[in-house]
Amino acid sequence: MPSLFDPIAIGPLALKNRIWMAPLTRGRATKEAVPTPLMAQYYAQRAEAGLIISEATGISREGLGWPFAPGLWTDAQVEGWKPVTQAVHAAGGRMVAQLWHMGRLVHPDLGGGQPLSSSATTAPHHAHTYEGNKPYVAARAATRKDIARIVGDYARAAVNAIRAGFDGIQVHGANGYLVDQFLRASANSRDDDYGGSIDKRLRFMTEVLEAISAEIGVDRVGIRYSPNILSQGVDDPDPIALYTAVAKRLEQLGVPWIELREPGPDSTFGSGATEPVSPAMRAHYSGVIALNSDYLGDTAQARIDEGVADAIAFGRTFLANPDLVERIRIGADLNEPDGKTFYTQGPEGYVDYPALDGERAAA
C-alpha cells in the first residue's frame, strides 16, 4: 500500500503527496469577497500539502452568506486570487477552488434577497452576518429558471477559477449547503425532476458537474460530500443507497476525485455520525478517494493501508500547523488550533502559527 508521502495524480494533476489540506473558511477576504495578500501568505505557508483545497468560495452574491469569505464571480475577485495561486505554485504547491452556493443558509443581509433552496424550508440555528448572529429566514423553492441560472453561475465560477490560476475546482457538495440540500432527503421535498427518488435528487449535482466539465474539462473537477452526518439540518435516511448511486454517477461522468468528510463516532467536529459510506462508494467508483475528519499521521496511514482512502485531508491540524507534512514525517508534536481566531480578520491565528524551523530558530 502507498505511504502518505507517495505521489498521486488526480486527472492531469501530479500531486507530491497524499497529505491534503481540507477546505477551511477563514474570513480574511474583503466585504466585496476579494482575496487579500494575507491569504497568499497563509496558503503559501501550507504549500507542502499534496493538494490545497481552498476555503469555500462563493459562485455568486446570491450564494454567499459568510462575512469576509471570498468569491469567484467578479473580475476583481479573479485578480485577488491570482497572487494567492501564484504564491502557492511558487512554493511548489497545488491548489483547487472549492465552489460554494449556500442555498438556504444565505441570510438576506448578505445575499440580498430571500434565500433559495431545493424546497421551501428554514435552516435551523443562526446565520453569521456582519451584525452578529441572526436566525435564518425561510427559503423559497428554486424554480427551474433559478436552477438553470445557478448551474450557469457554477460554470462561470469554474472558468474564473482557472483564469485565477487554480489547478482545478472542488464542488462543495457537503455540510448542508445547496448541492447537499438537493441530494439528501431531509431538505428536499420536491415532486418534480429534481426531487423524490434518489435519481431525481442527483439531478442538480449532475447538471452542475456537467456544466462545469463542459467549460474546464472533467479532469479538473472534484466534489466533496458529508454523507454520514447531520449537517445544518440536512441528512438522509439511507446514506448507503444514496451515495452508492452518487458513486455510480460520478463514475459515468468521469469525475476523477472525491473528498468525503466522513467522521467516526468519536469525532470532535460534529456528532452523531452514522456508518461510513466510503467502502460502498469504493466498490462503484474508480477515482481517487480522499477521506477527512479527525485524522492524525498514524490513523491516516491506517485508512490508506485498508485500501479505502487514497489520500487524507486534514482540516484543523493544517490550520494550526503550516508545516504539517514535515511534522507527520518526523512525528513531531502539533500546535493546537485556536477556535477564537478561526473566523476573525487579520493575521492573528492565521499566519502566525509557528513552524518547526521557526521554533528552532527562536530556541
Ligand X SMILES: Cc1cc2nc3c(=O)[nH]c(=O)nc-3n(C[C@H](O)[C@H](O)[C@H](O)COP(=O)(O)O)c2cc1C
Q: 177 catalytic, yes or no?
A: yes
Candidates 136, 177, 243, 350; catalytic one: 177
| Chosen residue from 39, 40, 56, 84 binding ligand X by CB under 6 A | 56
- Among 302, 264, 309, 261, smallest CA distance to 285 is for 309
The footprint of ligand X on this chain (CB under 6 A) covers a number of residues equal to: 22
Residue nearest to ligand X (CB): 315
49 is a contact residue toward ligand X (CB under 6 A): no
CB of 319 to ligand X, least distance (A): 6
Indicate the residue among 128 and 316 with the shorter CB distance to ligand X. 316
161 is a contact residue toward ligand X (CB under 6 A): no
Q: How far apart are CA 345 and CA 350, in angstroms?
A: 9
Cα–Cα–Cα angle for 279, 285, 290, nearest 5°? 65
Grid cell in block for residue 325: 507534512
The secondary structure element, H or E, covering residue 161 is helix 144-163
23 is a contact residue toward ligand X (CB under 6 A): yes
Q: How far apart are CA 266 and CA 263, in angstroms?
A: 8
Q: Which stretch binds ligand X (CB under 6 A): 16-24, 74-82, 178-186, 350-358?
A: 16-24
Indicate the residue among 94 and 172 with the shorter CB distance to ligand X. 172
The three-state DSSP-derived secondary structure of 239-281 is HHHHHHHHHHHHHHHCCCEEEEECCCCCCCCCCCCCCCCHHHH
Q: How far apart are the first and last CA of the chain?
A: 38
Pairing of strands 311-314, 257-261: unpaired
Q: Which stretch binds ligand X (CB under 6 A): 20-28, 33-41, 190-198, 327-335?
A: 20-28
| Chosen residue from 292, 301, 335, 341 binding ligand X by CB under 6 A | 292
55 is a contact residue toward ligand X (CB under 6 A): yes
Q: Which stretch binds ligand X (CB under 6 A): 8-16, 19-27, 246-254, 302-310?
A: 19-27
- Among 209, 206, 246, 204, smallest CA distance to 225 is for 246
Grid cell in block for residue 299: 490513523
Give residue 192's Cα distance to chain centre.
28
**x-or-dash pattern for ligand X, window 85-124, by CB under 6 A?**
-------------x--------------------------
Answer positive or negative: Cα dihedral of 105, 106, 109, 113: negative
The secondary structure element, H or E, covering residue 21 is strand 19-21
176 is a contact residue toward ligand X (CB under 6 A): no
In the numeric block, the cell 489547478 is attached to 167
- Among 328, 331, 294, 329, smallest CA distance to 313 is for 294
Q: Which stretch binds ligand X (CB under 6 A): 23-31, 70-78, 179-187, 273-281?
A: 23-31
179 is a contact residue toward ligand X (CB under 6 A): no
Indicate the residue among 136 and 314 with the shorter CB distance to ligand X. 314
Q: How far apart are CA 156 and CA 344, in angstroms?
A: 29
Indicate the residue among 141 and 338 with the shorter CB distance to ligand X. 338
Mapped onto helix, strand or coil, the DSSP state of residue 224 is strand
293 is a contact residue toward ligand X (CB under 6 A): yes
261 is a contact residue toward ligand X (CB under 6 A): yes
Q: Which stretch binds ligand X (CB under 6 A): 18-26, 30-38, 210-218, 273-281?
A: 18-26
25 is a contact residue toward ligand X (CB under 6 A): yes
62 is a contact residue toward ligand X (CB under 6 A): no
**x-or-dash pattern for ligand X, window 205-234, by CB under 6 A?**
-------------------x----------
- Contact positions toward ligand X, by CB under 6 A? 22-25, 55-56, 98, 172, 174-175, 224, 261, 269, 292-295, 314-317, 342
Q: Which residues are catalytic?
A: 177
